[in-house]
Chain A
């Protein structure tokens, strides 16, 4: 049970990173990104391609980060002339194009079969210590990224981001460079997502295009909506709650002697129904955004 708890916590930390990075875009800057999973994919494929070519994990991290930063810049460039909703659709299609690319370019990505056998981080440590060290690393990174996001969104810069979200024209008239205001949070959140992807790839030891379905983006979205858009603590809380609920549904099945189909149905109900419930009755999420924060 203890080991399983470590595993679920590790996954929760990774999804916490993804939720934080999406929150920076959607929650604060109002950038409705439906292709977030592609930034994560840059991280996983960076790790996998570096592994396949024996460049070592550090190169993998750098490669993933560089790819994610470039993709984020492309997203930002794309956003210049598009309304928020159209931009969202464009990001979704870019993510799908990249997934199709990963499925087909076998020489680079291993195609649909993916790349497997990546080394586990701390794989050489004995039983409880390896997973514990991985969890420790993920938790520290989550804390660092959380602090970074907090610093970004509190204070003048955060206010500018929120102004971009609420009244882009007003922001423009006040002399803010909207393009730059979009670019920076996108690149930072892209880097965070790439770090999550890199850790995920080395944790599951397998990278393939099936990990990049748009359904994963929407799972992160539901974590945000449940936790609270525009609140970093809310984003992390939403990710932990969802991850733990999804992972512990099978235990309810075991305890009550229910058939296995129950787990499948219950997971769908939890994500879909939970999302609907929050959208209907608690739109601000578990931990709502603080309007007029400390520095306002």
Chain B
């Protein structure tokens, strides 16, 4: 046993050595890194994030790459757990010496790797996490996704405009959902509305009847909800069984919330959606469909796509791979960059401060503008 382990480790060491030799003989590409959950609980989302990265890398390289060299994105698996995410970030910095890292999905992993990258004076692009805590990470951290206070304000104003004053809200019991509930409640109150009840539901349950009945007792004007597609299907089915869909429903990230729902159970729902149909978004949507033969699987691929594109643009603008220069270039680009997820502008803390949203509703199983 021991001797066979020795043999295996020897073979591994040799492959490593040979691999390093071969790669150094080729033209040196410009490398950036990405840490995404390719295994673990969020693996579906990670796989979709990877698609965005792939399309963007192909496009950048088709147009001549960066600094005259091909662009390479070294993608590492975070396993959806902080220790592995940190392993991945440290490998990218200390071994691959990349100036910029994109990642991760869940705030619990994005925060520690962001903190590490900022400490190492590298650039960190957040393509998914919406936790308000990211605001404090410091110089070098950039968020490409509107943090939850931006989106919830839009939702609160939109709901007030419909004349609905008394709301209840249900969202998943994780960093995303808790942030949405907290921020929505704050903005809806500020706009003059009332949040009668809020529930953070545990993911993966087979029924949410109890939660829905509890919310219904408050007799709201509108049910506000956000759900991953599978739980969204359960919630919508049970809400219609309980007759709750006679009250208006408002989906926060409507396409994600209703993706798997029966058309009958989601008919007439209102909601907001991230704008993909900007000047560059349409082309991206077509490229995605063409390459993978289906519609967007989750809402997160567009952000990693934008992350790679804006990183490449920043490296070209900076004329070097020095992290400080890339950071300065990102700030310049962030005064109005046309991305697939709409125009990207950063505030003083390098957070995306506005995001174009679409006011949508469900009609005959499809999302249409209202």
Q: Which residues of A contact B (CB under 8 A)?
A: 1-4, 7-8, 11, 100, 103-104, 106, 111-114, 116-117, 120, 204-206, 208-211, 213, 215-216, 246-247, 250-252, 254-257, 260-261, 263-265, 267-268, 282, 286
Contacts and interface: CB of A to CB of B under 8 A. Distances in A.
Contact of B15 (A113, A252, A261, A263): A252
Interface string B70-102: 000011110111111011101100111000000
Interface in B18-46: 18-20, 23, 38-39, 43, 46
B75 A260 contact: yes
A103 B173 contact: yes
Contacts of A209: 108
B74 A113 contact: no
B76 A113 contact: no
A264 B37 CA distance: 8
11 contacts: A4-B90, A113-B131, A113-B178, A117-B115, A204-B83, A206-B111, A215-B81, A246-B84, A254-B23, A261-B38, A264-B38
Given A4-B94, A117-B136, 10 more contacts: A1-B95, A104-B173, A106-B178, A112-B175, A113-B107, A204-B86, A254-B19, A255-B23, A264-B38, A268-B39
B171 to A, nearest CB: 11
Contacts of A211: 81-82, 108
A204 B109 CA distance: 10
Contacts of A106: 178
A264 B75 CA distance: 11
A248 B75 CA distance: 14
B16 A255 contact: yes
B91 A116 contact: no
Given A206-B112, A254-B74, A116 B133 contact: yes
Interface string B213-251: 000000000000000000000000000000000000000
Contacts of B258: none
The 5 A-B pairs at the shortest CB distance, nearest first, are namely: A255-B19, A264-B39, A264-B38, A260-B75, A3-B94
B179 interface: yes
B334 to A, nearest CB: 24
B115 A116 contact: yes
Contacts of B174: 103, 112
B333 interface: no
Given A113-B175, A116-B111, A252-B15, A260 B50 contact: yes
A89 B252 CA distance: 38
B62 interface: no
B175 A264 contact: no
A255 B74 CA distance: 12
B325 to A, nearest CB: 21
B178 A246 contact: no
A52 to B, nearest CB: 12
A8 B178 CA distance: 33
Contacts of A100: 202
B161 interface: no
Interface in B95-141: 95-96, 106-109, 111-112, 115-116, 119, 131-133, 136
B87 A256 contact: no
B348 interface: no
Nearest to A278: B1
Nearest to B2: A286
B177 interface: yes
A205 B115 contact: yes
B300 to A, nearest CB: 16
B358 interface: no
B318 interface: no
A210 B77 contact: no
B200 interface: yes
B111 A263 contact: no
A264 B175 CA distance: 24
B12 interface: yes
Given A252-B15, A254-B74, A204 B82 contact: yes
Contacts of A255: 15-16, 18-20, 23
Contacts of B179: 113
Contact of A8 (B15, B87, B108, B136): B87
Given A113-B179, A206-B111, A264 B83 contact: no
Contacts of B119: 120
Contact of A4 (B95, B107, B111): B95
B133 A113 contact: yes
B302 to A, nearest CB: 19
A260 B79 CA distance: 12
A117 B131 CA distance: 14
A206 B82 contact: yes
A247 B46 CA distance: 19
Given A113-B131, A247-B91, A255-B20, A260 B77 contact: yes
A170 to B, nearest CB: 34
B167 to A, nearest CB: 20
Given A7-B87, A112-B175, A210-B106, A205 B94 contact: no
A216 B177 CA distance: 24
Contacts of A113: 107-108, 131-133, 175, 178-179
A99 B109 CA distance: 17
Interface in B158-182: 173-175, 177-179
A264 B133 contact: no
Contacts of B88: 250
A216 B81 contact: yes
B2 to A, nearest CB: 8
Interface centre among A1, A206, A261 (most CB of B within 10 A): A206
Interface centre among B12, B20, B80, B90 (most CB of A within 10 A): B90
B51 to A, nearest CB: 12
Contact of A282 (B1, B19, B38, B90): B1
Nearest to A118: B115
Nearest to A260: B75
Contacts of A260: 38, 50, 75-77
